[in-house]
Each structure stands twice: as C-alpha cells, then as structure tokens.
Amino acid sequence: MNKIVILTGAGISAESGLGTFRDEGGLCAEHRIEDVATPEGFAKNPKLVHEFYNKRRNQAADVMPNAAHAALARLQKNYPGDVVIVTQNVDDLHERAGASVLHMHGALTGALCAACDHRWMAPPEMAPDDVCPNCLTQATRPDIVWFGEMPYEMDTIAGHMSNVGLFVSIGTSGNVYPAAGFVQDARMIGAKTLELNLEPSEGASFFDEARTGRASEIVPAWVE
C-alpha cells in the first residue's frame, strides 16, 4: 500500500493549448464521437478519422508541456518506483516533461496495423492508403483505443492499483470507463483519494478530498 497512482485526462493538457473533449468548444463539439473515435466510424470513413488524428497529432507536436506535467515528472523522480502515472490522453506531453506514463487509450505518436498488429512511429499525416511496413497491407490505423475497444495496460494498471495508498485524479470529467471506475477500486482497498480538477467531476463524490483550479497552479502546489 505504498504507491501513488495518478490518473490524468484532457484537462491536464488544456493549458498547453490542447482541446478537451467535453468542455465548451471541445473535441466533442467538432465531431460526433461515433464518427471519429469508434472502430465503426473508422470503417465507415477512414479518411475523416485519419484527418481528425492527423490534426491532433500535429497540434500536440506544436505545443509544450505545462507546469502540471513538469510537477508530476518531478514527483516521479523524487519517489522512484512509487509514483505511477496513467493517462487517458493520447498526447505525449507527460513524456516530453520527463515522466514515464502508461497510455491506456493509446498515443497519437503510434501507428498500428490492423492486419498484423505491427506498431511503428506514426508519420505526421496518416492516410487510408498507407501500407504497413511489416506486412505491406493497406490496414494501417492510429494506435488509439476507440470506444468499444479494450484499453491498453489494464493488467499493469491493476497490479499498481493493488498496492495503491493514494489515488489522484487530475483533469478528467470522470465520464469514460474503465478509467472513471479507478477511484472506486482505490476506495475498495482503503486508499486515500484526491481529485485535482477545474470543477467537480462526475465522480467527485467518491473522493476524500477535492481541490479545484487550473492544473498548472493546483498540481505544482499539491506536489510541493
């Protein structure tokens, strides 16, 4: 019971300039989730989905990690092996701040072949007629976990959660499962739970403590 497990969502990257999903004018306002973040949507219109992720991949490459990403990387360095960061985000801002992170919903920097499961670094622009460098099939897709697909790293996450002493949720609305259920798993084994968010999330009532504010302010304050 000695691990700090931190779950982050789109809100931690908002102040770096990346859109969240459900806030005013967010990604959900631009596209229906069914059209751009499901396997069915990709099958129906792979060009639209590639364009959606190409735009986000290039936006993420153009922005910088903020003070919240930096504070979590510092915390991880100060407590080697005891601070686990699990992110729902598909940007690479945690890594670029120097943290190691588990991407449970995949990553914009990844490309995947649906035919042979080969993974490689995604080019800035992906297109439906791209060919897998391994099996040469035109079955490439962004290495992203869409709705209805099994999130990545679930066994590793469960292993860390079985030793969690403090669960911290940062910048997530608590709408998407199984991530939104982690706080209840933490409570079940007696961990302390803390929410750091701009406003109370859907799961706010499950947290022992909640601090509201902008991540770039309240996360460094909490880490210090």
Write out the catalytic residue numbers.
105
Binding of residue 160 to ligand BV8 (CB under 6 A): no
What span, in angstroms and rounded, lies between the C-alpha atoms of 224 and 71?
8
For residues 110 and 142, the answer to whether their CB atoms sit within 8 Å is yes
Tell me how far CA of residue 38 lies from CA of 34, 68, 119, 121, in angstroms.
5, 30, 19, 21
Q: 168 is written with which tokens?
A: 């911290």
Region 193-222 residues binding ligand BV8, contact defined as CB under 6 A? 197-199, 201, 214-215
Binder among 67, 85, 112, 144 for ligand BV8 (CB under 6 A):
144
Q: What is the DSSP letter of 111?
A: E
Tokens at residue 101, please?
A: 């992170």
Contact stretch for ligand BV8 (CB under 6 A) within 78-86, 112-120, 125-133, 191-199: 191-199
What's the one-letter identity of residue 34?
A: E
Q: Which is nearer to ligand BV8, 151 or 164 (CB)?
A: 151
Query: Which of 45, 138, 163, 175: binder of ligand BV8 (CB under 6 A)?
Result: 175
Among 145, 164, 183, 191, binds ligand BV8 (CB under 6 A): 145
Task: Determine which residue in the list 41, 46, 151, 203 makes contact with ligand BV8, applying CB under 6 A.
Answer: 151
- State how beta strands 209-212 and 192-197 pair: parallel
Strand order in the sheet with 106-113: 119-121, 106-113, 140-144
Site residues (CB under 6 A) for ligand BV8?
A: 9-11, 14-15, 20-23, 26, 37, 88-90, 105, 144-151, 171-173, 175-178, 197-199, 201, 214-215
